[in-house]
Amino acid sequence: MRQEFTLTIFSENRVGILNQITTVFTRRHINIESLTTSESAIEGIHKFTIVIYSTREEVDLLVRQVEKRIDVLKAYSFSQDEIIYQEIALYKVPTAALFEGNEIEKLVRQYGARILEMTAEYAVIEKTGHKHETQELFDKLDPYGVTQFTRSGRVAINKLKKEPLNSYLRKLVKNGVNPDVKIDTQ
């Protein structure tokens, strides 16, 4: 049964690594719904957070294929109930729409959003939440003339008591495989 999975992939920061990773998805005809990449909590290690719809079997095979890439240290897959996640959305609306009534202000409060910036021409509203929540606010704001809308990719952490990557990296460091990674080996 196809369902939503979030993959976290840890790698060294090398030119072309994103292409190497996405090629694995392309070869398997798996569409990427969301992709976010940034430095991880460990110096020298980057984290990719990728959302896909697939079966458990396809995901397990995909993770093994991704891990075969030279610069990939480790990859994990998580189902929806194994992670905590958020996205961020920004909405740009004409300032005049704010002064035509208090409907936008009510929406901002109702959806737990906030106004980031206000100029004579526009206001920028920020909302964090799940995709359906940020989309719902867009649908409510759109009649007021949203001029720009953007949503980030997913950021996620797993619900495990310990980060499995830390244990994995400790083993690597202990065995002298990657001495450049700075991690507490205690």
Cα–Cα distance list, 182 to 38, 40, 41, 171, 173 (Å): 17, 12, 10, 13, 9
pLDDT digits 0-9 by tens, 130-172: 999 999 999 999 999 999 999 999 999 989 876 666 676 667 6
Tokens encoding 171? 């083993």
pLDDT digits 0-9 by tens, 95-140: 999 888 899 999 999 999 999 999 999 999 999 999 999 999 999 9
pTM of the predicted model as reported, rounded to 2 decimal places: 0.83
**What does the domain layout of the chain look like in residue ranges?**
3-83+157-174, 85-151
- Could you tell me the CATH superfamily of domain 3-83+157-174? ACT domain (3.30.70.260)
Which residue's entry shows tokens 């929806």?
80
- Asked if the domains 3-83+157-174 and 85-151 are classified in one and the same CATH topology, the answer is yes
Task: Find all residues with CB under 8 Å of 67, minimum gap 6, and list them.
Answer: 74, 75
Of 84, 16, 12, 65, nearest in space to 42 by CA: 12
Of 73, 77, 70, 144, nearest in space to 107 by CA: 144
**Which CATH code fits 85-151?**
3.30.70.1150
